[in-house]
Amino acid sequence: MQWDLAVQEDAPLSGNTDRQAALDRQIEGDLVELTWRTNRLVTVVGPIAALAFLAGVVSELEPVGLWLWFAAINVVFVARAVVLVAWSRVRPEGERRLRWRKYFYFGTFLVPAMWGLSGPLFLHQLEPLLQAFHLAIVVGIAGGLVGTISTHKPSVLTSLPVILLPLAGSFIAIGGQSYLILAGLVGIYCFYTLSVGLGHHRTIRDSLRLRVERSELIEQLRAARDAAEQANQAKSSFLANMSHELRTPLNTILGFSEMIKLGMFGKKSESRQIEYAGFIHDSGTHLLDLINDILDLSKAEAGKLELHEEQFNLRPLVENCIQLLAPAAEKADIKVVGPVRKAGDPVLLADERKLRQILLNLLSNAMKFTPAGGSVTVSYKVAGNGGLSLAIADTGVGLTPKQLEMAMQPFVQVDGGYGKTAQGTGLGLPLTRKLAELHGGRLEMRSSPGKGTTAIVHLPAERLVETKPVRKRAAG
């Protein structure tokens, strides 16, 4: 079984706002992962710095307060290490990464806060040399923080002031010209590290944005390449199939016309000549239909196909199409069921010739791949949005979702395994889709193995009218 199925339009692309929001969420997630990476080293270096401070000042300070401070900061180090290990085991992806940001912030704020607290607690008890030692450790830790917390802007804005400003306040509290100068220098250093940290944060965000956008561009280029390859393959398949479709009627025309021209049946073969002339006429008609389909599809693709709109009743059009295909249906032993008669049949404002073309394409396609003894049913109804849904359902073997996805490519024919030979160019349903869209509607295909296929043409509410003036609209 082969179905010439039309390509469905892609869903509308998200707006710039939605894309920007999704991009920002991805960048935030990447920043959280960078925070985890940069904090792994600090988890090792931090306790070493705390131990060095303890060893340097333990002889000068009251031991209870110092040891309480040392125990508290190590509890924070352990808690942060537990969070980092938990992340390494879970390795969350997507939106789940953002939930960990508060856990990382807990460590990047409390550790600087504990170091900031050491100034008011211990600085005034130390002799000048140890005060310089204390200052060097705190300033060094603040400088190291710039590189580890720049992935998170709130950490930059809170951690650096919370570690440096208490130290500056302690120098002011001690008093004296030298200490006031040191307090001013610490304040300037705090402002400098804040500026560097914020600048580093912007650089990291910009780098991540460029990386994400580059990845998106690579994916788009890959998709475009795959689409171009598929289109090229479909074109080759279409040309190979079309050459057969065109040569068959042309060979018939040339062959029978040559026999008539040479008078191979003598003067008394009028009936045979009339029969052969009928073959020529049928082949010429078939060839003309093929050429018209190609031209119509080309015009539709170029946006040059026009609608010649008029008001007409839908039921007579449907019944006429069924009558036209009745001989073929009877020969194939297929029952074609028309819509149920009821009062108030819909009146449409549309191009009647093109809607007839839609119906004939869908009906002939359904009959072509419905087994003997099967049926094709035509129905229509007013949809909930006020539009019209016109459905052609058959009892063929149907298609799997994968086959249906493959078949939704231009000029593609999918073998459904029915084993019934059928001719087709792959133009019928693509053209039907374009004609439906030209009317402001769409073509929907539904199919499942063993349950047949249903083609539904959805027309908008503006096409379902009582009376409207005739007008002409150009596509594109």
Kind of pairing, strands 413-415 and 388-394?
unpaired
What's the rounded Cα separation, in Å, for the pair 447 and 354?
Answer: 25
- Of 448, 363, 366, 360, the closest CA to residue 403 belongs to 448
pLDDT score recorded for residue 334: 92
Looking at the DSSP bridge assignments, the partners of residue 388 are 382, 459
Q: What are the 10-residue block averages of pLDDT along the chain, 476 residues in total?
A: 36 56 75 76 80 87 87 87 81 75 78 90 89 91 83 84 92 90 93 90 84 85 84 65 64 71 63 71 69 70 78 90 86 88 80 88 85 91 87 87 68 54 60 87 88 91 66 44
Task: Determine the pLDDT at residue 413.
Answer: 64
Query: What's the Cα-to-Cα distance from 172 to each of 69, 294, 385, rounded to whole Å?
Result: 22, 88, 75
Beta bridge partners of 310: 350
- Angle formed by the axes of helices 128-149 and 16-57, to 10°? 160
417-440 b/e (C-beta count within 10 Å ≥ 16 → b): eeebeeebbbbbbbbbbbbbebbb
From 152, 130, 262, select the one nearest 200 (Cα to Cα): 152
CB 167 within 8 A of CB 141: no
How far is C-alpha 384 from the geometric centre of its chain's CA atoms? 28
Residue 101 and residue 33 in contact, taking contact as beta carbons nearer than 8 Å:
no
The four Cα atoms 442, 448, 450, 456 give a dihedral, to 10 degrees, of -10
Report the sign of the C-alpha dihedral through residues 207, 213, 218, 221, in that order: negative
| φ, ψ for residue 313, nearest 5 deg | -85, 135
- CA atoms of 304 and 297, how far apart (whole Å): 10
Own/partner pairs for 51-59, CB < 8 Å, 24+ apart? Answer: 52/137, 53/118, 53/134, 53/137, 56/130, 56/133, 56/137, 57/122, 57/126, 57/130, 57/133, 57/134
> What's the pTM value of the predicted model, to 2 decimals?
0.48
Residues in the chain: 476
DSSP structural state of residue 415: E
